[in-house]
Amino acid sequence: MFSKEYFDYLIRSKKYLLLFILLIMLLIIIGGRDMGVALIIEGLISLMLSFALPVYIFHYVHDKKAVDTFFSIPVSRKALLVTGIVFCIMTVYLPMALVLCFYSVAEKIGVMMVVYLFEMLLAVAALIVFNTALYFIANNIIDGVIMMGAYSFMPLAIYMVLNSMVSSYVAGFSTWEFDFLYYLSPAAMAVKVFVSIFYKVQAIAHVLGLLVIAVIFGYILLKAYVNRSVERAGTPSDRLLAYPFVIYFYVTICLFIISSWNGYDFENLSAFLRENFITYVMLFAVFMGTYFIYKRKFFFPVKLPVVFIAAVVVSLVITSICKSCHGFGLAQMYERDDPYQSIDINAWYENENSDVQKYLYEMTGERSYYYNVYIFNDRTDDDHRNMKLSASTMAIIEELRQQGISDFYEKPKDGSYWLHLNIVNSEYGSSKSYSYQIKDQLDMKTILELAKDEALMVSIETSEHQYFLQKDGTLKQNY
Amino acid sequence: MLRINNVSKSFGTKEVLKDLSLTVNEGSIFGLVGVNGAGKSTLLRCISGIYRCDAGNVEFNGIDTYADESIRKDIFFVNDDPYYSLASNIRTLKEFYSSYYDIDEETYQKTLKLFGLDENKQLNSFSKGMKRQALLLFALSIKPKLLLLDEAFDGLDPIVRYNLKKSLYDFIEENEATIIISSHNLKELEDICDSYGILENGKVETYGDLLESKQNINKYQLAFRKDIDESVFDKFDLLYKSKEGSVYSLVIKGDKETTVKELKKLKPLILDTLAVNFEELFIYEHEGGNR
C-alpha cells in the first residue's frame, strides 16, 4: 500500500518545492507579529496547495506518455496512489503544524494543541483525498482542474438556487444559511475547522464530516484508481460524473435561478418568456460552449437544443408547482417557541384619516401626513435580553404572519405594502429569519395591545418627532 | 518464458486484441509486426502491466504482469514516444529509475559513451531519436529479463541503429533475456530477430521461427512455352501470383523441395527459386491473410 522507493523519489525530486513552501512558512512566522494571523495565512496557503498539489503530483495519470512510465514501474497502483496522497498531505500539513505549534506556544493553548493538530491533519487529509478524487474524474489535466473547480463550487451553486427559490416561492423565507450545505463542501468544512482552531473552539460536526469524507472518498479513490483505464489518458472527459453531469448540473442551476429570480408562475408565461428570451439564448450559447470545451471540437447534435428546451420547460413547471403549493408547505414551517426570538414590525401610514393619526393628534396635538411605527424587542438592552414575548403578542404575531403568507401569494395589484414583519430566531449562533410584507395597515388597537408587552418597545415617528408608546398608552417624546 | 493467455482488449467499441494467445521463449528476440493500428503497442502495454486486459492475462515466468507488480522489476518497456518531465536530464532520469531498478553502472557508462549522450543536458532539448536513446540507455543498464521495445528503430540514425543492434546482441548473450521488438522497419528486425509474430485482426495467427518461416515461403519464377490453365496452381498454398508475358511469379508456402517437384510436373521452360526476405514474408502473409 505504500512505496518507500517512490516516496524517497518524491522527496528527492521535489526538494525545491518543499524548500520553497518551508521558506514561505518561515517568512510568515518570522514576518508576522501575530501568530494567529500567521495561522490564517498558512491556512489559506494550505487550502490552495490542497488543490494544486494533487494536480502536480498526479499529473502523470492524465498524460498518455507519462502513463507508460509510471504504470510500468514495479510499484502497485495502490502504492502509487497512497504514496502520492501521503506526500501531498505531508507537504501541506507539516508547515501548518509547525505554525500551529508556534501559535499554541504564543496563545498558551497547552494540551489542546494535540487535538488541534489532529483536527488539522484530518482537514488536510480529507481535502487532498477529495480534490484528488475530483481530479481523477477527468481524463486530462485541464479537465481535471475544471472538475475540481466545478465540484468545489457545487454547494455554493446549490445554496444560490435554494435561496433564490425560497425567497421567491416560500412566504416568510429570505436568505437562509442552509447549514447542511457545509457538509457537502470539504473546503468549507476545512475552513470552519481552521477558523475554530483560531478561535480556540471545537467544530466537532465539521471534524466528523471531514472524517466521513476522508474515509468514503479514500475508499472510492483507491478502488477507482486500481481499476482505472489508463489508456484513456489525454482523451475527452466523458465519464458520467465528468462533463455530462457537470454541464447539466450547472445548466439546471442557472435555469432554476432564472425562473425563480424572475418570479415565474403560470399566469404570466408569455410575458416571462418575452422578458427572459435573451437570457435563455445566452445560457444556451454557454451550454453549447461547454460542449465545445468538453469535446474539444464544434459539436451540434440536434438533441442539445431539444434537451435544453425540455430543461427550460421542466424548470418552469417545477417553479410553478413550487409557487402553487406555497413552497411545498415550507411557508408554514416556523419555530414559535424560540426563547431568543426577536421581532421587528415596521408599519407606515400615508393617510390623514388613519386611527394612528387620530390617536397621535389626540395625545400630542401634532398632525403629520406621514407616520412610521416601529415595534421591536431590543435584545441588546440588558433589561430586555431574556424576556419572552407574551401569549397575546405571539397570537398577534401569528395572525400577522398568516396574513403575510396569504398576501405573499396574492400580491396587491398596486404593489403597495403597509406593514413589514421580521422575525429572527437566533439560538446557538445560527439564525433563521422570516420576513413578511402585509397589505393592510396595522390598527391602533393592535399597536396598543403590543405596547403592553414588557418585552416590546413601540415608537411612532412623524416627519418631525419621535414618540415612545408607554405601557399605559401615553406617548413620551424622544428628544 | 512469456505466456499471453487469451488476451482481449477493447477501446470503447473497437476491439483491438481478440482472444490473443502467444508464447515467447526465453532468450528469444521476437519481432512483432503488423500494419498501423494493428494493436502492437497495445499488446506491449498489456505485457508490461500498464493496461489491464479485458479478458485473459499475461504471465512472465508464471507471474501475472498486471496483478503482481514485483515481476515488473524484471520487465522494461521502451515506448515509441518517451515521457520526460520538464527540466529533467539523464541524471534525474537515473535517479528515478534507480529508485525501482538496479542499474548496472558499468553498462550504463559504456552505453552512455556508445550513444554519445550528455548526462546533464535537458532531455526536452533532445531530438526524438536522442530521447529514445536516453530511454534505451536505461533499458540496457537495468538489464531486465524481458525487454519490450515499441517502434525500436524509429528516429534513430544508421550508426545508432547499428550500435543498438550490437548492444541488443550483447545484452541477450550476457543476460539470457527475452526481447520483444515491434517495428515497421522489417529489415532491421530481420537482422536481429530469431522469431516473429504478425499481429492481424487482433490476433497473432502467423508466428514462429523467422528462418524456418522464410525457408517455408519461397518465390518461384516459371515460364511456359504456351498459355496454361492457371487452375493448375490451385493445389499450392499460393500467397502471391503475377504474370508478365509468359513468366509467372509465384509465392508459395510450403516445403521448397516438394513444391519444386510439383512445379516441375507442369513442365516449365524455366523454373527459378528465390528466397524471400522478412518484409516480403510479412507482405505476402498479410495479403494472403486478407484474401
Give pLDDT, residue A200: 83
Give pLDDT, residue A265: 61
- CB atoms B69 and A79 under 8 Å: yes
Query: Over the stretch A307-319, which tens digit does the pLDDT of each residue have?
Result: 999 999 999 888 8
> How many whole angstroms separate alpha carbon A441 and alpha carbon A433?
22
Which residue type occupies B103? I
- CB atoms A231 and B45 under 8 Å: yes
Q: Is some CB atom of chain B closer than 8 A to the CB atom of A179? A: no
Give pLDDT, residue A171: 86
Same domain, residue pair B88 and B145: yes
Q: Which residues of B touch A5 (CB under 8 A)?
A: 99-100
**pLDDT exceeds cutoff 60 at A429:** no
Which residue type occupies A320? S
**pLDDT exceeds cutoff 90 at B114:** no
Same domain, residue pair B167 and B232: no
Confidence of residue A301 (pLDDT cuts 50, 70, 90): confident
Same domain, residue pair B190 and B225: no
What was the ipTM of the complex prediction?
0.86
Chain B residue with CA closest to A71: the answer is B50
Confidence of residue A208 (pLDDT cuts 50, 70, 90): very high
Query: Cβ distance B222 to B250 under 8 Å?
Result: yes
Same domain, residue pair B230 and B263: yes
Which of B51, B70, B82 has its CB closest to that of A230?
B51
Chain B residue with CA closest to A230: the answer is B51
Residue to test with chain B: of A5, A69, A82, most B Cβ within 10 A: A69
Q: Which residues of A touch B77 (CB under 8 A)?
A: 68, 72
- CB atoms B83 and A69 under 8 Å: yes
Give pLDDT, residue A143: 95
**pLDDT exceeds cutoff 80 at A267:** no
Final residue in a domain of this structure, among B201, B228, B245: B201
Instruction: Please calculate the CA angle A159-A164-A170 and round it to the nearest 5 degrees.
Output: 110
Give pLDDT, residue A371: 82
Query: Cβ distance B260 to B273 under 8 Å?
Result: yes
Decide if B206 is inside a domain: no
Interface list for chain B against chain A, based on CB atoms closer than 8 Å: 11, 42, 45, 48-52, 69-73, 75-77, 79, 81-83, 85, 92, 95-96, 99-101
Strand-by-strand arrangement of the B2-11 sheet? B14-24, B2-11, B55-60, B63-64
Query: Cβ distance B82 to B132 under 8 Å?
Result: yes
Query: Cβ distance A256 to A165 under 8 Å?
Result: yes
> How many whole angstroms separate alpha carbon B68 and alpha carbon B24?
20
Same domain, residue pair B237 and B279: yes
Chain A residue with CA closest to B96: the answer is A9
> How many whole angstroms separate alpha carbon B123 and alpha carbon B132?
10
Query: Cβ distance B178 to B147 under 8 Å?
Result: yes
Share of chain A above pLDDT 90, in %: 36
**pLDDT exceeds cutoff 70 at A338:** no
- CB atoms A74 and B82 under 8 Å: no
Decide if B208 is inside a domain: no
Q: Of the ranges A63-77, A194-208, B84-98, which is most confident?
A: A63-77
Same domain, residue pair B34 and B111: yes
Which of A5, A68, A74 has its CB closest to that of B79?
A68
Longest dimension (CA), chain A: 96
CATH code for the domain in which residue B235 is found: 3.30.70
Same domain, residue pair B101 and B182: yes
Q: Which whole number is the average pLDDT over B144-171?
A: 86
Domain that holds residue B269: 213-290
CATH code for the domain in which residue B107 is found: 3.40.50.300
- Positive or negative CA dihedral for B256, B259, B265, B270? negative
Q: Which residues of A touch B48 (CB under 8 A)?
A: 68, 72
Tell me the pairing of strands B270-275 and B178-182: unpaired
Give pLDDT, residue A430: 61
> How many whole angstroms separate alpha carbon A349 and alpha carbon A373?
8
Beta strands in B35-118 (DSSP E): 55-60, 63-64, 75-78
Q: Which whole number is the average pLDDT over B211-224?
A: 84
**pLDDT exceeds cutoff 70 at A339:** no
Which DSSP string corresponds to A213-273?
HHHHHHHHHHHHHHT--GGGTTS---STTTHHHHHHHHHHHHHHHHHHHTT--GGGHHHHH
Confidence of residue A221 (pLDDT cuts 50, 70, 90): very high
Count CB neighbours of A261 within 10 A: 16
**pLDDT exceeds cutoff 80 at A251:** yes
Mutual angle of helices A35-57 and A77-107, in 10-degree steps: 170
Confidence of residue B179 (pLDDT cuts 50, 70, 90): very high
Q: Which residues of A touch B95 (CB under 8 A)?
A: 9, 12-13
Q: Using a CB cutoff of 8 Å and minimum separation of 24, what contacts does A289-298 make?
A: A290/A243, A290/A247, A290/A250, A291/A247, A293/A146, A293/A243, A294/A236, A294/A237, A294/A238, A294/A243, A294/A247, A295/A236, A296/A236
Final residue in a domain of this structure, among B201, B230, B246: B201
Who wins on pLDDT, A423 or B105? B105
Confidence of residue A123 (pLDDT cuts 50, 70, 90): very high
Same domain, residue pair B127 and B20: yes
Chain A, residues 70-89, CB within 8 A of chain B, namely: 71-76, 79
- CB atoms A73 and B11 under 8 Å: no
- CB atoms B77 and A230 under 8 Å: no
Helices (H) and strands (E) in chain A, counts: 16, 8
Decide if B238 is inside a domain: yes
Residue to test with chain A: of B88, B100, B128, B145, most A Cβ within 10 A: B100
**pLDDT exceeds cutoff 60 at A242:** yes
Q: Provide CB contacts within 8 A for A475, sequence distance 6+.
A: A360, A363, A364, A460, A467, A468, A469
3-state SS class at A45 = helix
Give pLDDT, residue A153: 94
Same domain, residue pair B232 and B91: no
Query: Over the stretch A351-373, which tens digit does the pLDDT of each residue have?
Result: 667 788 888 888 888 877 788 88
Tell me the pairing of strands B178-182 and B29-33: parallel
Give pLDDT, residue A406: 87
Cell numbers standing for residue A93: 500539513
Q: Which whole number is the average pLDDT over A423-428?
A: 71
Q: Which residues of A touch B45 (CB under 8 A)?
A: 68, 231
Q: Which residues of A touch B81 (CB under 8 A)?
A: 65
The radius of gyration of chain B's CA atoms, rounded to the nearest angstrom, is 22
Chain B residue with CA closest to A67: the answer is B50
Decide if B92 is inside a domain: yes
Phi–psi pair at B143, nearest 5 degrees? 55, 60
Same domain, residue pair B193 and B218: no
> How many whole angstroms separate alpha carbon B110 and alpha carbon B95?
18
Residue indicated by cell numbers 393619526: A357
**pLDDT exceeds cutoff 90 at B290:** no
Final residue in a domain of this structure, among B180, B201, B222: B201
Q: Kind and range of the H or E element at A1?
A: none
Query: Cβ distance B36 to B185 under 8 Å?
Result: no
Which of B45, B75, B100 has its CB closest to that of A5?
B100
Which DSSP string corresponds to B200-239?
ETTEEEEEEEHHHHHHHEEEEEEE-SS---GGGGGGSEEE
- CB atoms A74 and B70 under 8 Å: yes
Cell numbers standing for residue A275: 422578458
Same domain, residue pair B285 and B150: no
B30, β-bridge pairs: B180, B195
Residue indicated by cell numbers 488536510: A124
Phi–psi pair at A466, nearest 5 degrees? -125, 135
Which of A5, A13, A65 has its CB closest to that of B82?
A65
Give pLDDT, residue A269: 79
> How many whole angstroms separate alpha carbon B196 and alpha carbon B186?
10
Same domain, residue pair B277 and B133: no
Phi–psi pair at A325, nearest 5 degrees? -100, 25
- Quote the number of domains for chain B: 2
Lowest mean pLDDT among A363-367, B97-101, B245-249: A363-367
